[in-house]
Structure 1
Amino acid sequence: MLSGQSWNPSNHFIMSEGMAAYFKAALEDGDPMLVAAARDDIARTQGITQISGEAGLGC
Structure 2
Amino acid sequence: DEMTQQNAALSEESAASAASLSSRIGQLNDLVAAFRTGQEQGGNDSGQTTYIHEAVRRRAA
Q: TM-score over 0.5 for the alignment?
A: no
Which has the bigger relative contact order, CA under 8 A and spacing at least 6? 2
Range of TM-score over shorter length = 0.3 to 0.5
TM-score normalised to the size of structure 1? Answer: 0.44
Instruction: Specify the structure having the higher radius of gyration (Cα).
Output: 2
More helix by share: 2
